[in-house]
Amino acid sequence: MDKKLAQRALNLRQGGIRAFFDKAKAYSNLINLGIGEPDFDTPRPIIDAATQAMLEGATHYTANAGDLYIRRQVADFLRGYHVEVDPETEIIMTCGGMGALSLFLLCVLEAGDEVLICDPQWLNYRAQVLFAGGTPVPVPVYEADDFVLQNQAIEKALTSRTKVLMINSPNNPTGAVYSEQDLRRIADLAIRHDLLVLSDEVYSEFLYDGMKHVSIASLEGMRERTVVVNSFSKAFAMTGWRLGYAAGPAPIIRRMILLQENLVACAPSPSQAAGAFALEHRSGVEAMHAIYEKRRSLILEGLNSIDGIHCALPRGAFYVFPSIRSFGLPSQDFAEKMLEEVQVAAIPGSAFGAGGEGYLRVSYANSEENLQEALERIRRFAGLLGN
């Protein structure tokens, strides 16, 4: 049967996160700190708004770009981050942030075009770039730089084929947040080398310690070369609704709309109605944020109090990225042993690229009770390893 399949399909591989979850399924007493999605259900008012909208007819296709009403809401939301876009021509509603990312990559990459991606990075970037015919080029980031891309490392990775630089702040898996200063120096580099920038801002509502999200698209000279991707999945606990968007220069967005017309027609209509309500009312955002902030302190203090584990302070998203180097085990072995011995799942850092070796990604999108129990188990496990 393989002979009947396209090479690009045969090249597809299961990501490291899914592979690890398949192993974890065997354990009944599992605490899963590997999941990259909110543990909250979608806030009730959003569900009610979608139900009402469906009863009133939101069950049909919308425009390929998405309903203009929600595109206007998105434009208002982005204005809050000083990004000015025209809802008529510069926004497309998509099937999740992933839909936006894949449409973008399929529309801008020629075979062999290179895309700079920080390492460690969210797994799907690499797979999506490859599927679109591009070449992902890892740019290492280090804990000493708070896991933020440095210009020197970017310059070193540049070639005549470099077309796109991907930025993800707040970051999955490290929780890193890029300051305005970081973004300014990266923007200068992007302008100097005429790069397109894909700014993945799906965790824009998850910043802590009073920090405020800055979009690289808001900086001078960047709007014309940046596509911002965002999503309703994380901010509003709406992963299953599959709703996201891209905002950027009209010529790029226009092509993405044409491609969407041919791939999936449009983002789900009830989800767009739900998303419009969510944006307008910011339903649940503040309440969920306060809970995440409390959990972040709990997990950070807990992990840092365990001998051998060291965890830097992440400023955003809902992940911590503790170093387990001192145990002298590859992160895959550490994570597998931890699963076997104490039934706690965390994703080995190496699943996010070579730069993640020596770390684990621990999600705190979990109840306080589970986090506390997981910390006790991890403490026991670290004791077993004898550090």
Which residues of the chain form contacts with ligand PLP (CB under 6 A)?
36, 96-98, 122, 168, 172, 200, 202, 231, 233, 239, 244
H helix or E strand, kind and range, residue 279: helix 269-281
Residue 29 CB, shortest distance to ligand PLP, in Å, is: 26
Strand ranges in the chain using DSSP code E only, listed in sequence order: 31-32, 91-94, 114-119, 135-140, 162-168, 196-200, 226-231, 244-247, 319-320, 344-345, 347-348, 360-363
CA distance readout (Å), 386 to 89, 248, 382: 60, 52, 6
For strands 31-32 and 344-345, give the pairing.
parallel
Residue 198 CB, shortest distance to ligand PLP, in Å, is: 10
Tell me whether residue 119 or residue 200 sits nearer to ligand PLP (CB atom): 200
Tell me whether residue 202 or residue 347 sits nearer to ligand PLP (CB atom): 202
**Rounded to an integer, what distance in angstroms lies between the CA atom of residue 60 and that of residue 335?**
45
Residue 279 CB, shortest distance to ligand PLP, in Å, is: 14
Residue 37 CB, shortest distance to ligand PLP, in Å, is: 7
Residue 36 CB, shortest distance to ligand PLP, in Å, is: 4
Residue 97 CB, shortest distance to ligand PLP, in Å, is: 3
Tell me whether residue 36 or residue 66 sits nearer to ligand PLP (CB atom): 36
The torsion angles phi and psi of 224, rounded to 5 degrees, stand at -75, -5
Tell me whether residue 92 or residue 309 sits nearer to ligand PLP (CB atom): 92
Tell me whether residue 231 or residue 283 sits nearer to ligand PLP (CB atom): 231
Residue 346 CB, shortest distance to ligand PLP, in Å, is: 16
Cβ-proximal residues to 92 (8 Å cutoff; 6+ apart), any chain: 64, 65, 66, 100, 103, 245, 246, 247, 253, 256, 257, 260
**Rounded to an integer, what distance in angstroms lies between the CA atom of residue 283 and that of residue 278?**
5
Residue 268 CB, shortest distance to ligand PLP, in Å, is: 13
Cα angle 225, 133, 90; round to 5: 30
CA distance readout (Å), 123 to 16, 53, 159, 215: 8, 35, 23, 22
Tell me whether residue 253 or residue 309 sits nearer to ligand PLP (CB atom): 253
Tell me whether residue 206 or residue 381 sits nearer to ligand PLP (CB atom): 206
Tell me whether residue 172 or residue 331 sits nearer to ligand PLP (CB atom): 172
Chain residue whose CB lies nearest ligand PLP: 96
96-108 vs 250-263: helix axis angle to the nearest 10?
Answer: 110
Residue 363, classed as helix, strand or coil, is strand
Tell me whether residue 97 or residue 138 sits nearer to ligand PLP (CB atom): 97
What does the block give as tokens for 193? 């080398």
Residue 28 CB, shortest distance to ligand PLP, in Å, is: 26
Give residue for tokens 């942030």.
97
Residue 132 CB, shortest distance to ligand PLP, in Å, is: 16
Tell me whether residue 171 or residue 343 sits nearer to ligand PLP (CB atom): 171
